[in-house]
Chain A
Amino acid sequence: MFNQAREIRNKYIREEMWPSIFCTGCGIGNVLNYALRAIDEIGLDIDKVTFCSGIGCSSRLPGYIEADGLHTTHGRALAFATGVKLAAPDLSVVVFTGDGDMAGIGGNHFIHAARRNADITVICINNYTYGMTGGQCSPTTPGESKTTTTPYGNLEEPFDLCRLAIGAGAPFVARWTVGYPYETVNAIKAAMETKGFAFVELLVPCPTGYGKENRLKDARASWEWYKQNTITAADLRALSPEERAKNEKIVVGTIWHQDRPELTARYAEAVKTIS
């Protein structure tokens, strides 16, 4: 994978935006690499891809890609993306968002976009924090974690974004951490190939913001934490029922895949009978 990095970079990166804003040990840049690799492997025409995002570290990704990009207002990326997709169904629409952007201020847009089921791929980079503003508590910050706005520990329980997506009707839902590059690329490919609202949650370390308050400031320790605290869905299935019941690790893998009719296709079909 590393051997192809330069090739991917030359092909897709907007050089003028380099270097990126990301801190040492941050995993968002890896997500960009994996997403571009997925696009390349599928063979999408980059002229026909629109990248949408909201506000926050993860939402800066479209700026680094030499393609059409819509860097919107905080939390609204999915509403903008819905407009793009419905207006131009021939475009592939990819949304980069974060836990604060998508599940905090944008939570309502998220559940409705999933329910509506337009063909949009959502890559939600969950780093448990509002990184760009310096590490505040987000809707996915684990209970008891310390952040700058929960200095005595977080008393709220976090969202499980994948369960939220499934509950709202998303036909494809996967979760990985950036420590699993090949699996992540494959999950993004599967999401992009899903005809409908496809959701990929990527757990990404934020040593600077989240890590500094939670003994994960060291980049290597931070990345290692994600390896230690996750279990693949396949490995979980292999456990005995007793072991499985005791599992407290975060499950990664394809969490849900059940296709249902996609909105723009339904609309196009309906319009034929009306116009």
Chain B
Amino acid sequence: MNIIEAIGGRELFTQGDVACAYGALLGGCTFFAGYPITPATEVAEAMSRLLPKIRGVTVQMEDEIASISAVIGASWAGRRAMTATSGPGFSLMMEGIGYACMTETPCVIVNVQRSGPSTGQPTEPAQGDMMQARWGSHGDNELIVLAPNSVQECVDLTRLAFELADRFRNPVFVMTDGEVGHMREKIVLPAAEEIDIRPRPAPSTPPGEFVPFKAVKGKVPEMASFGTGYHTYVTGLTHKESGLPTTDNAEEHTGLIRRICEKITDATDELTRVEMDQDDGATVGIVSYGISSRSAAGAVRLLRAEGMKVSHLRLVTVYPFPERVIRDFAAPLSRVLVPELNLGQICHTVREALDGAAAVEKVSKIGGEIITPDEIVEAVLSSGEPVKV
């Protein structure tokens, strides 16, 4: 049956986790490997229900390390593949994520963030894995990180994640949280005839001529799936363009690592998705992402209703970090507030990007409840005094 038939309709009222599964199907995903973890389990449950209907494959692995490993194996075997987890599982997946970056394996990881560290508050939302998303795996690498703030965006951004994973041959993260994952909203899916899923293109050169890790378009190589006669050797060791290991050559290592990082950073403008709500004459602004961006939008409405000028920039793409956009946004501002469900993560990246051009203040909240618009209003009105919320 087709994807819309498998899902059971185009207009639905559902939760963010399930919406990620719908987005995955729309993105061409036919392989899911996962391990139960609150608050991401519903993604695995939805995929287990849906994938067999469209002749996809789903498997529950023995842990999250095995899940990401199976996903990478499936990707090399020619399928679009995904896993979903939350903080503790995300920590375990860092090994496989580093491998996927090094081997340029397209894959999608949904992280429905919960309160940490460690087991923390399993059922409560948080945004505490944002630094881990960027820096969690050892060595130098770049990730593409998307942060939905609604159930509809769980569909749209998970779908987009597959396109980006393939295009850049890199892992892509969809960073939701327990709130977005479990809240229910209306979603609208595309009509069946608007869904155009194409298989991964074969390399443009035949076996023998094809060089599996040589960039062709920009800095991204083409990919030859296993079983297609290309005899591709894939290793997490530093490798030559041929794919074969070279572990003591500084030039080869530098060239490879710079290329796999620059293929992402060079495309920052293309990858950047933001929602900019600038207020002429404002000197205060808010930079937000994920669930906190909805509270921030509420705070902006409240402040403007009181006659205050305030600007708002919502990051849909969090990484590669849209530094230029942030600098443009902050140019007329003297203060930038960053509301987050952690004790301060993306505020550091914003501060680094602005490099003193505006004061950057964190608006932190942990404990399991989302930041309210009132709390952000209070932070804005506090004239730079730290506000404990």
Chain A: residues with CB nearer than 8 A to chain B? 14, 16-17, 47-48, 50, 52, 62-63, 66-73, 76, 79-88, 90-91, 108-109, 112, 116, 267, 270-271, 274-275
* B residues in contact with A83, CB < 8 Å: 31, 33, 69-75, 77, 81
B233 touches A69 (CB 8 A): yes
Is B234 close to A, CB under 8 A? yes
* Top 8 A-B pairs, shortest CB-CB distance: A83-B73, A83-B70, A79-B69, A87-B74, A87-B77, A79-B66, A88-B77, A71-B235
Is B242 close to A, CB under 8 A? yes
Task: Give the A-B contact count at a CB cut-off of 8 A.
Answer: 138
Is B59 close to A, CB under 8 A? yes
8 extra interface residue pairs, beta carbon distance < 8 Å, beyond A80-B69, A80-B72, A84-B226: A16-B244, A63-B235, A69-B232, A79-B69, A86-B70, A88-B227, A112-B66, A275-B1
A82 touches B76 (CB 8 A): no
Is B96 close to A, CB under 8 A? yes
A87 touches B69 (CB 8 A): no
B62 touches A84 (CB 8 A): no
For the complex formed, measure the closest distance between the CB of B258 and the CB atoms of chain A, giving whole angstroms. 22
B73, B227, B244: the one contacting A82 at CB < 8 Å is: B73
Is B4 close to A, CB under 8 A? no
Pick the most buried of B33, B69, B228, B236: most chain A CB atoms within 10 A of its CB.
B69
B57, B62, B66, B242: the one contacting A86 at CB < 8 Å is: B57
A71 touches B236 (CB 8 A): yes
A63 touches B244 (CB 8 A): yes
B54 touches A275 (CB 8 A): yes
Is B230 close to A, CB under 8 A? yes
Is B323 close to A, CB under 8 A? no
- Size of the B side of the interface (Cβ < 8 Å), in residues, is 45
State in angstroms the CA–CA spacing of A267 and B77 once bound together.
17
B79 touches A87 (CB 8 A): yes
Is B198 close to A, CB under 8 A? no
Q: A72-B99, A88-B78 are in contact. Are A267 and B57 (CB under 8 A)?
A: yes
* A residues in contact with B70, CB < 8 Å: 79-80, 82-83, 86
A91, A108, A274: the one contacting B62 at CB < 8 Å is: A108
Task: Give the residue name and chain of the A residue nearest to B6 (CB).
Answer: A275
State in angstroms the CA–CA spacing of A154 and B31 once bound together.
44
B233 touches A63 (CB 8 A): yes
* B residues in contact with A67, CB < 8 Å: 231
* A residues in contact with B368, CB < 8 Å: none
State in angstroms the CA–CA spacing of A274 and B62 once bound together.
25
State in angstroms the CA–CA spacing of A251 and B236 once bound together.
36
Is B229 close to A, CB under 8 A? yes
A17, A72, A79: the one contacting B244 at CB < 8 Å is: A17
State in angstroms the CA–CA spacing of A266 and B55 once bound together.
13
B 25-73 contacts with A by CB, 8 A: 31, 33, 52-55, 57, 59, 61-63, 65-67, 69-73
Pick the most buried of B1, B62, B75: most chain A CB atoms within 10 A of its CB.
B62
Is B95 close to A, CB under 8 A? yes
State in angstroms the CA–CA spacing of A275 and B49 once bound together.
11
Is B237 close to A, CB under 8 A? yes
Task: Give the residue name and chain of the B residue nearest to A17 (CB).
Answer: B244
B74 touches A76 (CB 8 A): no
* B residues in contact with A79, CB < 8 Å: 61-62, 65-67, 69-70, 73
